[in-house]
Amino acid sequence: MEIVHSVSAKALVELQKRDAAIAALKAKISGVPVKLKAINDAFEAKKAAMSAARQALMALQAKKKDAELRIAEAEEGIRKHQRELNMVKDNDAFKALLKEIENDKAAKDGLETGVLELLEEIDKAAVKDKAEQAEVAAVAAQRDREAAALEAEGREAAGTLAEAEAGRAELAAGIEADLLERYDALRASRAGLAVAAVHVDQATGRYSCGGCHMGLTPQKALDVKKPDTFAVCPECRRWLYLETVING
């Protein structure tokens, strides 16, 4: 039978609870910059959407300005050809000028229709631009609130961690050094769980390892009932204890 004797079995169980709390605090602290980055990334993405909406609006406005210039050009063409019309004597040249004027007028009509369509598009784009601006402002305010809360949480956790580590050191000082060393190594290799409470099935009365859930032999079930002793799980090598023995 494999057992680990320790007068500090109860202290070791308590130590593991504190180590778990310390690990959780460390995870919380190291999670702060990660969360801050995610919040900032979301804000930058929103800003990029805002910038795209603004550029779309500006492109439409430029297009409208260009169309207006071309309308002015077409009007100038019409006026020029009308002046020429008064000067030509030749019938064919007269007809050709009339045709030119007709073409200019058709071009102008087409451009004017385009401008009307562009005005509608500009209205929609301006609404979207305004909405994006408002959303960016809202997201920025939310980002600032969340960042401040996260930073406060991080500072609080850092303070709690310092206290927890001091308490852990004090508790560890009362535990046999070689046992502590074995515990630390086991905990590091067993996902933070070196000592495992035995699970007692209420219906069958059977015992199993609280770490790997392997059923315990009758001999192991006897071992875990001894005070100041850990039985070793044959499957996962964790040190097993009964809550009733540790706290009894």
Site for Zn ion, rule CB under 5 A? 209, 211-212, 214, 233, 235-236
Question: Does residue 73 contact residue 103 with C-beta atoms inside 8 Å?
Answer: no
Question: Which phi and psi angles does 7 have, rounded to 5°?
Answer: -75, -10
Minimum distance of Zn ion from residue 222's CB (angstroms): 17
Give the integer Cα–Cα distance in Å for 146 and 199.
41
Residue 236, helix vs strand vs coil: coil
Residue pointed to by tokens 């050009």: 73
Minimum distance of Zn ion from residue 7's CB (angstroms): 24
Q: 29 vs 214, which CB is nearer to Zn ion?
A: 214
Minimum distance of Zn ion from residue 209's CB (angstroms): 3
Q: Is 148 left (phi over 0), alpha (psi -120 to 50) or beta?
A: alpha
Question: Does residue 222 contact residue 231 with C-beta atoms inside 8 Å?
Answer: no
Token pair recorded at residue 78: 């019409």
Token pair recorded at residue 168: 């852990």
Q: 159 vs 234, which CB is nearer to Zn ion?
A: 234
Q: 43 vs 230, which CB is nearer to Zn ion?
A: 230
Minimum distance of Zn ion from residue 141's CB (angstroms): 51
Minimum distance of Zn ion from residue 11's CB (angstroms): 22
Q: 147 vs 214, which CB is nearer to Zn ion?
A: 214
Q: 78 vs 209, which CB is nearer to Zn ion?
A: 209
